[in-house]
């Protein structure tokens, strides 16, 4: 008959990735002539689990550099965009101490910028990876007989006893 042991270990019990595309519009005072550049910076995010769904809340800053007045002047619009993405992760196992790990697999980047009258319309693309990690019990089979214990020899104590000089203090001398 075999013996079994239970080991509790951290394991990835569910994972997935998803690409998100967001279209946004920002009005500006001056009518833009040309888009000179678009940058996405300061991306932060956090995931929370609700049943089989993971709610990812995050934000990033958008900087769009544009020219106006027939390309004679430039300006930069700055805006913080917030997002709330919901992803479903299937998990058929019972685990202890679930933990959500969200990673940015592809940082948010501006894939398209257009001028629409006094508005600047931009498209942001990002890819997020989600892992559900938890403590799981695993049973492993062991042999019926355990390995024998090794004998630990404490030779330090014997060395100390052999080096002690019992007559080190001479009590016959007066102080």
Vertex 101 angle, CA 81 and 104, to 5°: 45
- CA gap 142, 88 in Å, rounded: 38
pLDDT band at 161 (very low <50, low <70, confident <90, very high): low
Higher pLDDT, 4 or 54: 54
- CA gap 22, 125 in Å, rounded: 6
pLDDT of residue 8: 85
Range with lowest mean pLDDT among 51-55, 98-102, 103-107: 51-55
Is the predicted pLDDT of residue 95 greater than 80, yes or no?
no
- CA gap 171, 149 in Å, rounded: 47
Is the predicted pLDDT of residue 29 greater than 70, yes or no?
yes
Residue (of 11, 10, 9, 14) closest to 132 by Cα position: 14
Is the predicted pLDDT of residue 97 greater than 90, yes or no?
no
pLDDT of residue 92: 63
Is the predicted pLDDT of residue 159 greater than 70, yes or no?
no
Helix (H, G, I), strand (E, B) or coil at 89: coil
- CA gap 15, 62 in Å, rounded: 29
């Amino acid at each position: 008959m075999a013996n079994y042991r239970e080991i509790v270990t951290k394991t990835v019990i569910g994972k997935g990735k998803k690409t998100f595309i967001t279209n946004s519009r920002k009005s500006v005072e001056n009518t833009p002539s040309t888009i000179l550049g678009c940058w996405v910076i300061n991306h932060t995010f956090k995931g929370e689990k609700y049943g089989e769904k993971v709610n990812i809340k995050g934000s990033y800053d958008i900087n769009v550099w544009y020219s106006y007045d027939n390309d004679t002047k430039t300006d930069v619009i700055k805006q913080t965009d917030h997002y709330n993405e919901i992803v479903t992760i299937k998990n058929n196992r019972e685990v202890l101490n679930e933990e959500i790990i969200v990673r940015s697999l592809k940082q948010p980047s501006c894939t398209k910028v257009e001028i629409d009258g006094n508005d600047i319309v931009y498209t942001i693309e990002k890819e997020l990876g989600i892992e559900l990690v938890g403590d799981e019990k695993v049973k492993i089979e062991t042999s019926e007989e355990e390995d024998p214990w090794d004998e630990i020899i404490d030779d330090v104590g014997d060395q100390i006893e052999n080096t002690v000089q019992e007559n080190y203090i001479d009590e016959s001398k007066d102080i």
